[in-house]
Structure 1
Amino acid sequence: MPNEALQKVLQEISQKKAFAEQQLVVVRQQKAARTRESRMLQLTASEVTSLPTDTKVYEGVGKMFVCTPIPDVQKRLKEEGEALTKEMSNLDKKEDYLEKTYTNSKNSLEQVLQRAG
């Protein structure tokens, strides 16, 4: 393989590997944030469930608070939990893809270097 073509291939593979590595860091941070959000939702839901049904519950809307019936709050918490579950599933898939891309790029880089050297 000509020297210029080899350098071009190495550069492309290195860029792909670096990009996958950066994206993996981002995805793992997003997963950690979603896990915290999920835990907060679970704690909030358990607190709301333990309240008597005639208790007044207020939700923050912008800079004010609005009185909201407990069933509405529970419904919103459930919907947010389902959305977080879907998002975590998508992040897991993305993480798997990026890990495979990173591993394949790393292996390709090693193979090209072995063949050249």
Structure 2
Amino acid sequence: MSMPNEQLQKFLQEIGQKKAFAEQQLAIVRQQKVAKTREARILQLTSSEVESLPSETKVYEGVGKMFICTPIPDVQNRLTSESEQLKADLANLAKKEDYLEKTYQNSKDNLEKIIRSAGGA
């Protein structure tokens, strides 16, 4: 089964573009995962510091250019909800990374298969 040259070139170009796009998106997702992991670690450290404070300690949160006195339980609730959101984001990024890795590998395999079959023909 051989394809005309023009059709083969078009097919190779489409697969190559798909592979390049998947590779580019994979790099972006990996950077996002690193940033989210760093954020999660900062939240964890902040939470452990807030938990170690005596209950009568005044805690301030930044709002714009000012700071507002906030009760410790409110701060802990905010940190917990942000942490849960980051975990969900990381899970979604892991799924996206897995999908992109499969897309990249499939494109790469298809290109190699076509090149081998064209070279052997």
Normalising TM by the smaller chain, what interval?
over 0.9
Structure 1 CA distance for aligned equivalents of residues 116 and 11 of structure 2: 14
Q: Give the whole-Å Cα distance in 2 for the aligned partners of 1:75 and 1:100.
A: 38
Aligned twin of 2:113? 111
| Cα shift at 1:71 | 0.1
Residue 87 of structure 1 corresponds to 89
Give the alignment of 1:1-117 within 5 angstroms: 1-117=3-119
Which amino acid letter does the alignment assign opposite residue 18 of structure 1? A
Size of the aligned set, in residue pairs, is: 117
TM score, norm. by length of structure 2: 0.96
**SS of equivalent to 2:67:** strand
1:69: how far off? 0.1
Return the offset for 1:108: 0.2
Q: TM-score, normalization: structure 1?
A: 0.99
- Secondary structure of 1:105's counterpart equals helix
Superposed CA deviations along residues 69-100 of structure 1, whole A, max 9, x for unmatched, are 00000000000000000000000000000000
Instruction: Work out the CA distance in 2 between the residues paired with 1:14 and 1:34.
Output: 30
Following the alignment from structure 2 to structure 1, what is the Cα–Cα distance between the partners of residues 94 and 44?
20
Percent sequence identity is 72
Separation in 1, partners of 2:15, 2:69: 56
Displaced runs of 4+ in structure 1, greater than 4 A?
none
Output the amino acid matched with 2:15.
I
In structure 1, what is the Cα distance between the partners aligned to 2:52 and 2:12?
Answer: 60
Instruction: Name the aligned partner's letter for residue 33 of structure 1.
Output: A
1-structure distance, mates of 2:11, 2:78: 51
Shift of residue 115, structure 1, vs aligned partner: 1.1
